[in-house]
Structure 1
Amino acid sequence: MNPLKPLRIFNKAKGQPQVQDQHWYSVKAVGDAGQRSIEIYVYGEIGTWGITANQFVQDLRAMDDGVSPVIAAFNSIGGDLFDGLAIHNALSRLGERCTARIDALAASAASVAACGAHKVVIAANAMLMIHNPWTFAGGDAEDLRRVADVLDQTLEAIIAAYKSKAPNIDEAELRRLVNAETWLTANEAVALGLADEVGEGVTVKACLGQGAALQRFQHAPKTLLAQLAEPPEPEPPEPIDPPPVVDASKLALMITQSCTQAGISNLIEPLITSTKLVDEATVQAALTRAKAVNDLCVAARFPEFTLEFVSAGLDAEAVRGRLFDKLVGSGKGFEIDNSLPLQNDPPPKVQAKQPDPPSIWAARKGAQTGQTSSSKGA
């Protein structure tokens, strides 16, 4: 088989890197025409599952005017070595106007990419990690021997990338550090020549999203693993709109007019007190409830309790229960229904006068006596 075609050279780790969804990559121009610069953020894995060299080079080419300074900021555990080498070469072609900035971590292929810049500034609390290439393959003995040859060749490419940044570094020491998977602090990276300057320390742990992938390395610092294991900071709460300005006098007038129209002017004061004139919705609900309570009390012939029930904040169901108890106790036996009472009760119907036997007898007796007297006079 042709080992170069199917092979991807990864970190020296325990398994194939998994695709990470969380990454931050952007290329943008900042500043005015006279002070224009290009900023590139590589915050995430490098390769087909994250930030590819093809995407990086194409975006940079579209933005670059050939004179503006270019700043490439890294916070990455690395990834595909060949993509890292391609980014390394793209930065190297920019010459002295290119600066790589290691904001938190440049590991594996990311360290290879960053070393392509003319100047490397590493934050005081950042790290740079170098190590052997790693891959996975299948096949017969001859196939695996070819894969081993490819790994040896890619190791030489890694050594060459680092030496292009630090030409005075002892090659034997460099190979020892690469083989041992070495995590370099900012000062150590500068001492070796892989970085030029220690910058101001910053707190950058977002946008990696790679805590699980970082554990694949053999000697990842425990402090770094613990930092990535911390839960992400919560999103800031949505801004709360300030409450609308309430016109209390308008709401009080609403209660007064509604109660007057409904004939329940005695409820104006308790409604103003109970609603506290909070807002129009609260006032409307209280008016609706007060009218229902008044109608129930009138229907039960207990209008005198309306003020008490409204002041207590009782709803219609509670009022029905109270009225039922009062009706049963009074013996009136009126039925409570939900129908609205008439505005004016109709006049009582005229009933026929019941017969009164004694009066009828007296009247007949008087009539007979009158007839007898008339006959004698004649």
Structure 2
Amino acid sequence: MSKPALPRIYNRTGQRVKVQDKTWYAMQESGDAEERVIEVFVYGEIGTWGITANQFVQDLRAMDDGVSPVIAAFNSIGGDLFDGLAMHNALSRLGERCTGRVDALAASAASVAVCGAHRVVIASNAMLMIHNPWTYAAGDAEDFRKVADVLDQTMEAIIVAYKAKAPDIDEAELRRLVAAETWLTANEAVALGLADEVGDGVKVKACLGQGAVLQRYQHAPAELLAQLDEPPEPDIELEPDPSDPPQEPPVANSAKLALMITQRCTADGISNLIEPLINSTKLESEAIVLAGLARAKAVNDLCVAARLPEFSAEYVAAGLDAASVRARLFDKLVGSGKGFEIDNSLPLNADPAPKVQAKQPDPTSIWAARQAAQSGSANTSKGARP
């Protein structure tokens, strides 16, 4: 059985950029000292369940020399707004040497982030999506009023971020487009001032394994959603890269691999995932099994954190990666598009200890006991006479 196809992305010189997983987050430099260029690829969800602003800023700071041009390439369905704003500000501080590039999709928080660049180039077949901030919450009526106030405040932050990129844009029209969840083509983005130039089109999957998240939007273009149903592209073998680490030889002994899965799962307390892991990895090689074990542990941790551990075996058996599991768990938590769920129960780890209730007095029993005591006392007195 051949290995599943891995995502491949290339930098501006046509060289392949190595990625660690389906998040596709990478930062690299190219060229000699005089022509050094820093390229950042934000290919995935923004925020805690993907590419965090802290990771982005720290990596950029470590590589930036203060003079080299920086190209920030985006292909993201969005994510956490505040992380997106932090990325926006980090790119803005770079000044004129920063170019933002929309390779396929910059939606939601990603559109906010890329607008921090001094110059934005959007591929001719790419899109920019802007919409109102939204969240989900739990609590009483007062809690929801506070959440609504916070959403109003974050809306203003979004408007400021877009106007920083397009100062001449009509604010009333901008607010209308944001409220309507507007998907802008490359030419429309340039016309509004949210991008500066239309670049060459490139074929890049817009969903990045996060189709469930993309489907949550109300007006996602049909051509993007259609990509969810496309079969995976065949894996094209490339010439070996001398810098790639040597590949481990395949392990032929399936029993050894099955034993490895059994021992690791038992040690990690996820013995319920032994069979799903064997089925999903097909015991193809040691490398695949090790990757499957790491994936299963991550998936199980996510399900436990979401208080939905019953789904971990299903997701591991399906071979889902962490990003896909996050999207599915998020959908389950927020319900069917309602945006939040009301739950009056206390958290599982904060249940109060059961109280010992004092026994309530029973007047009937007390009266009967007194009568019995008095009757016994009278009988004893009569029997004591000579």
Name the TM tier (shorter chain).
Answer: 0.5 to 0.7
1:93: which partner in 2? Answer: 93
On the 8 A contact 1:120/1:197 being kept in 2, the answer is: yes
1:269: which partner in 2? Answer: none
Aligned mates of 1:189, 1:83 — CA distance in 2: 22
Alignment of 1:142-153 (within 5 A): 142-153=142-153
On the 8 A contact 2:77/2:207 being kept in 1, the answer is: no
Larger radius of gyration: 1
Aligned mates of 1:221, 1:194 — CA distance in 2: 19
Q: 1:228 deviation in Å?
A: 3.4
Aligned mates of 1:27, 1:51 — CA distance in 2: 12
2:189 alignment partner, SS class: helix
Residues 238, 201 of structure 1: alpha-carbon distance in 2 compared, 3 angstrom cutoff: closer
Residues 202, 238 of structure 1: alpha-carbon distance in 2 compared, 3 angstrom cutoff: closer
2:158: which partner in 1? Answer: 158
| Cα deviation 1:153-189 (Å, max 9, x = unaligned) | 0000000000000000000000000000000000000
| Cα deviation 1:243-277 (Å, max 9, x = unaligned) | xxxxxxxxxxxxxxxxxxxxxxxxxxxxxxxxxxx
Structure 1's consecutive aligned runs of 4 or more residues displaced over 6 angstroms after TM superposition are: none
On the 8 A contact 2:104/2:206 being kept in 1, the answer is: no
Aligned mates of 1:149, 1:27 — CA distance in 2: 37
2:217 alignment partner, SS class: coil
1:252: which partner in 2? Answer: none
Alignment of 1:225-304 (within 5 A): 225-236=225-236
2:64: which partner in 1? Answer: 64
On the 8 A contact 2:105/2:206 being kept in 1, the answer is: no
2:106 alignment partner, SS class: strand
Residues 99, 237 of structure 1: alpha-carbon distance in 2 compared, 3 angstrom cutoff: closer
Q: 1:213 deviation in Å?
A: 1.3
On the 8 A contact 1:211/1:229 being kept in 2, the answer is: no
Alignment of 1:188-207 (within 5 A): 188-205=188-205
Aligned mates of 2:151, 2:207 — CA distance in 1: 30
Q: 1:227 deviation in Å?
A: 2.0
Aligned mates of 2:41, 2:128 — CA distance in 1: 17
Residues 134, 236 of structure 1: alpha-carbon distance in 2 compared, 3 angstrom cutoff: same
1:75: which partner in 2? Answer: 75
Unaligned runs of 5+ in 1: 1-20, 240-378
Tell me the TM-score normalized by structure 1: 0.57
Aligned mates of 2:224, 2:67 — CA distance in 1: 37
1:236 alignment partner, SS class: coil
Q: 1:52 deviation in Å?
A: 0.3
Tell me the TM-score normalized by structure 2: 0.55
Aligned mates of 2:213, 2:170 — CA distance in 1: 31
Root mean square deviation, CA, Å: 1.4
User: 2:95 is aligned with what amino acid?
Assistant: G
1:32: which partner in 2? Answer: 32
Aligned mates of 1:216, 1:205 — CA distance in 2: 18
Q: 1:138 deviation in Å?
A: 1.0
Aligned mates of 1:73, 1:238 — CA distance in 2: 24
Aligned mates of 2:158, 2:119 — CA distance in 1: 18
Q: 1:237 deviation in Å?
A: 5.4
User: 1:199 is aligned with what amino acid?
Assistant: G
Alignment of 1:1-378 (within 5 A): 22-205=22-205, 208-236=208-236
Q: 1:206 deviation in Å?
A: 7.0
On the 8 A contact 1:23/1:207 being kept in 2, the answer is: no
1:295: which partner in 2? Answer: none
1:128 alignment partner, SS class: strand
2:105 alignment partner, SS class: strand
On the 8 A contact 1:119/1:195 being kept in 2, the answer is: yes
Aligned mates of 1:206, 1:150 — CA distance in 2: 30
On the 8 A contact 1:46/1:52 being kept in 2, the answer is: yes
Percent identity of equivalent pairs:
82
How many residues matched? 219
